[in-house]
Amino acid sequence: MYILEINQLRKFLFELFLAIITAAIRKSPFDAFKTFNELNPSISDRHQWRQRYPTSFEFHSSSKLSPLFTILLFSSKMPSLAVKLYSIFFKFQQRYTLHNLTQIPVHAVDPFGITSRREESTAASNPSFYEGVATKDIHIDPFSSLCIRIFLPATVVNFDPTTIIEDKSKDGAFIYSGYSPQARTKHKRLPVVLQFHGGAFVGGSNDSVRNDAFCRRIANLCDVIVVAVGYRLAPESRYPAAFDDGLKVLNWLAKEANLAECGKWMGNGNRNGRRRADAHVFDGFGASMAEPWLAAHGDPSRCVLLGVSSGANIADYVARKAVEAGKLLDPVKVVAQVLMYPFFIGSSPTASEIKLANSYFYDKSMCMQTWKLFLPEEKFGLDHPAANPLIPGREPPLKFMPPTLTVVAEQDWMRDRAIAYSEELRRANIDAPLLEYKDAVHEFATLDVLLQTPQAQACAEDIAIWVKKYISLRGHEFSY
C-alpha cells in the first residue's frame, strides 16, 4: 500500500516537473544552426543544403523567449540549463524503469508481447484530420501484438459529402466517424514512410504522444503517408522479435498493395468484360481485404524507411533484408532510409563513447542495460549484428544499400559510430550525407519536451528536403 502511494507520488512529481520544464523549453532560444561532417565540405549551412537538394519547401520557424525562464534557459552554450535539469530527472525515471524490467525472469518469454508500457503517455487515433493528418490503428498480426498507426495527410482528400462517413446519433445529428476513399475514383497517391520509434528496444510506442506528434510533422512536411510500427518490446520479447516485426510490416505492405491491385480487377464488376460474379472471390478474403487508405493513396514503389534511435537499427536491418529480397517484395521498393541518431555500439569504444559516456538523457551505462535486456544471454555481445553495423561479413555488401541520410547530435555518445557507418556507405559510393546538429542531445528532435524547439523543427525540415529527392514523381536514382 505504501509502495503504491510512493509510486503515485513519484509519478505526480515527475509529471509536474515535466510540465514546468516543457513550458520553458518550448520557448527556449535553441540554436538551430547545424554543422556538417568534414567529409561533406560542399555542405556547410542550410542555404547550401537546399541548393544541393532543391525543393519547393520553405522554412518557417519562429521562437519567443519567455521572460519567466530567461535566466533558466539562457546559456552561451547549449544544451540549456532547463534541458540539463530535465535530463537528470529523466535519467532517474529511466533507471527506475530499467530496474523493474531487470526483475522480469529471463525465461518469461511472451510470444504475443507488448508494444507499449503502462507509464507511456499515448495519443488516441484521430480520423478527423487533426493538424492536417488523420490517423488509424491496425493490429496486423493475430499471433502477436504487432500493430501499426497510419498517418494520412489531408492533401489526399477532396472534401465532399461522398468522402466522409457519417453516422446518425440517437438525437438525429450527424457524427463524423472517419474518411473513406471512394471506389472507382482516381486518387492522389503518396509515398509511404515506414517509421520505427525509439526507446532502446524496451520502451516507447508507435502511438505515444511524442511519436504521434513527430509522425504528424513528417507526414505534413514530406507530404507522405507515414506507417508507424508498433513492434514488440524487450525483455518480454527479445531479439529478434523487434527486427522480425519490422520486416513483417514491410511484407504486409507488399501484400496490401497486391490485394489492392486484385481489387481493381476483381471487385469492379464488368471492367474489361469480367463478370460481376467474380467479385465474391475478392470479397471472400474478409479481414485480408486491402486497407482502404493505403489501397487508394499509397504508392509502395516509393517507400522510405525512417528509424529513431533503436528504431534506426531496425530500419537498417529492414533495408538490408529488402535488398536481399529484391523483386520478391514487388511492388514495394525501398528508395531511401533515414537513420536518426542510431543506437549503434561495438566492443571497441569510439572517442565519443569515452568522452560522452555520461551524456544527457541516455548515458552509456543505461544503454548497456537495455542491450542486456534486448539480446538473449547466450547471444549477448557488443559486436552482435543488431548492435554493430560494421562487423566484417555482414550481408549484403554496403554497395547495394539504399541512399542513407544519417542524423547525429554533437552531445550524443553514439555519434562517432553512426558517423563511421555513414563514412563506409560513402566509400561504397552510396549517397549517404550526414547531418550533425551543433550542441544537440540524443533524441533532440523526437523527445517529448524537445519536439517544439526550433532545432527539432529544423531537423524535420532538413529530412523533408532530402527525402523529397527520392520520392519525387520524376523517379529516383536508386535501384537494386
Active site residues: 309, 412, 442
Write the DSSP assignment of 163-227 as a string of letters. Answer: GEEEEE-TTS-EEEEEE-PPTTS----EEEEEEE--STTTS--TTBHHHHHHHHHHHHHHT-EEE
CA distance 100 to 182: 49
Q: Say how many C-beta atoms besides its own lie within 10 A of residue 278's C-beta.
A: 15
Return the closest-CA partner of residue 195 out of 235, 232, 162, 149: 149
Residue 294: which H helix or E strand, with range? helix 292-297
| Pairing label, strands 225-230, 174-179 | unpaired
Cell of 297: 493513396
Spatial CB neighbours of 438, under 8 Å, sequence gap ≥ 6: 31, 33, 34, 35, 78, 410
Cis peptide before 235 (omega within 30 of 0): yes
Helix axes 310-325, 241-266, angle to 10 degrees: 50
Return the closest-CA partner of residue 295 out of 185, 378, 140: 185
Instruction: Determine the residue type at 171.
Output: D
Q: CA triplet 144, 11, 5: central angle to 5 degrees?
A: 105
Cell of 425: 556507405
Return the closest-CA partner of residue 90 out of 171, 197, 17: 17
